Amino acid sequence: MLPLLTFLVLVLCLTDIPLTMAPNSYDDQYIGCPSTMEDKLMDPTKNEFAPGKKYTYIWENAVSFWNQSKGSVLLNLYPDFNAAVRTGGKSTTSYEKDFHFKSFDFLVTKAIEVLKASQTGCYDVYRGVSNLRFTVPDPNKPVRFGHFTSSSLSKEVAEYFGTDTFFTIKTCYGAKIIDFSYFPSEEEVLIPPYETFKVVGVKEVGGKTQITLHSDSKSSNFNCGSKRGKMTKFPCSPHLNSSVFPLPVVNHLWTGKRNGSLSLF
């Protein structure tokens, strides 16, 4: 009886998260933006990493790490950032006033773009989540994660981070970041918030949810900081010149972020 009660308690304690198109996500792909906007966003020390701001030390430590090839960054940036991305796209006004990760979102988005330009094909990846049960309200409709989503090429690595919900994903717009990762053994592939997926399968196994997703396209409500009237599918965007882009620093900001990143919603 005790094991059954324990099982029931664990199931009841899971938080249900509907997997939809995440309509409130800040999902900008920054396609064809004015050079003045890109120049400003390329310098994060003028925005959320400006002197005296909450995340100043994070940028300084990341730059120092890549300049000196030593040290580490202890971040609380990652969960704050993804929480903001999930809800920061309610309107153009909310982005302008309340979204405090403008440079970082731009830099991570462009880092994925630069990396993906040098990679071919799609990736079969996995994502394990603990204490959250994702649901699919309508399996016939496309879905998005709506934030920058960590996944792994290794099923075993993903299972380590959780199996309450376990995703098997074919991503065609996610970028492999192993070469820049502070945790290369995690074999991480980073999926952007604007990638849409077809739901191929959903099943319950032993009280745990297994969801299979296949990449469909890229769709965004936002472009260049402005919300459009409806979600738009975009073609592949022009690639940024990686020689002038702070790719190592940005990826260290992302992958030096935590212990247990793949399990974070």
In three-state form (DSSP H/G/I as H, E/B as E, the rest C), the secondary structure along the chain is CHHHHHHHHHHHHCEEEECCCCCCCCCCCCCCCCHHHHHHHCCHHHCCCCCCCCCHHHHHHHHHHHHHCCCCCCCCHHHHHHHHHHHCCCCHHHHHHHCCCHHHHHHHHHHHHHHHHCCCCCEEEEEEECCEEEECCCCCCCECCCCCEEEECCHHHHHHHCCCEEEEEEECCCEECHHHCCCHHHCEEEECCCEEEEEEEEEEECCEEEEEEEEEEEEEEEECCEEEEEEEECCCCCCCCHHHCCHHHHHHHHHCCCCCHHHCC
Sign of CA dihedral 77, 80, 85, 88: negative
Assess whether 127 carries a catalytic annotation. yes
Query: Each residue of 184-199: b (16+ CB within 10 Å) or e?
Result: eebbbbbbbbbbbbbb
Assess whether 144 carries a catalytic annotation. no
Assess whether 237 carries a catalytic annotation. no
- Sequence-ordered list of residues with C-beta below 8 angstroms from that of 185, at least 6 positions apart, any chain: 157
Catalytic residue among 188, 215, 219, 220: 188
Ramachandran assignment for 134, one of left (phi > 0), alpha (psi -120 to 50 degrees), beta (any other): beta
Catalytic residue among 48, 86, 113, 127: 127
Catalytic residue among 25, 103, 150, 263: 150
Positions marked catalytic:
127, 150, 188
